[in-house]
């Protein structure tokens, strides 16, 4: 039996715990994304794709939004982000990354970038085989 690519039951409790304790930047951006407020697009919080848990995901546009704190600017963090982005891009999911502080300092610019973004309108790819450990 294969593991579903989106919102695997294996990660259900972990996703829920992350939703219950959003970072301040995630909570702030969520206030603009929830309820299809941004260009009518429905976003999900803490949505998993494979073993990666995305901060926000818009299924209709195949857009992942990742908010980056200090650990993303370490060598290991950047390597992990590159692997995550490559995995998601292989599934035709576009990844938008923003620094946590920019969510507060440049909110309108970020919202405009999200509005104008979309992934190529391509058929869903064949899901890759999953392995390894869950990652946030």
- Is a pLDDT exceeding 90 seen at residue 132? no
- Give Cβ neighbours of residue 33 (< 8 Å, ≥ 6 apart): 41, 43, 56, 65, 114
- Is a pLDDT exceeding 80 seen at residue 131? no
pLDDT at position 48: 96
- Give per-residue pLDDT as tens, 54-107: 999 999 999 999 998 867 667 888 899 999 999 999 999 999 999 999 999 999
Q: What is the chain's mean pLDDT, rounded?
A: 87
Residue pointed to by tokens 């600017």: 73
Length of the chain: 136
If DSSP codes are grouped into helix, strand and coil, which group holds residue 46?
strand
Q: CA-to-CA distance for 52 and 95, rounded, in angstroms?
A: 12
Q: Where are the alpha helices (DSSP H) in 6-125?
A: 12-20, 24-33, 75-90, 100-105, 107-116
- Quote the pTM value: 0.82
Other beta carbons within 10 angstroms of residue 132's beta carbon come to 7
The domain limits of the chain are 9-116
Cα-Cα-Cα-Cα torsion 6, 88, 11, 77, nearest 10 degrees, comes to -170
- Is a pLDDT exceeding 50 seen at residue 28? yes
- For 56-69, give one letter per residue: b (16+ CB within 10 A) or e: bbbeebbbbbbbbe
Is residue 118 very low, low, confident or very high in pLDDT (cuts 50, 70, 90)?
A: confident
- Domain 9-116, CATH: 3.40.960.10
Q: Which two tokens stand for residue 16?
A: 């829920």
């Amino acid at each position: 039996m294969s593991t579903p690519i989106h919102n695997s039951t294996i990660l259900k409790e972990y996703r829920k715990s992350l939703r219950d304790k959003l970072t301040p930047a995630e909570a702030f951006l969520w206030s603009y994304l929830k309820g299809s407020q941004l260009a009518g697009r429905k976003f999900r919080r803490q949505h998993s794709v494979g073993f990666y848990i995305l901060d926000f995901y818009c299924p209709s546009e195949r857009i992942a939004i990742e908010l980056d704190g200090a650990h993303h600017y370490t060598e290991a963090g950047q390597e992990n982000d590159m692997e995550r982005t490559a995995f998601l891009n292989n599934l035709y999911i576009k990844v938008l990354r923003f620094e946590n502080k920019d969510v507060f300092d440049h909110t309108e610019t970020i919202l405009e970038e999200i509005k104008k973004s979309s992934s190529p309108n391509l058929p869903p790819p064949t899901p890759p085989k999953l392995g390894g450990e869950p990652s946030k």
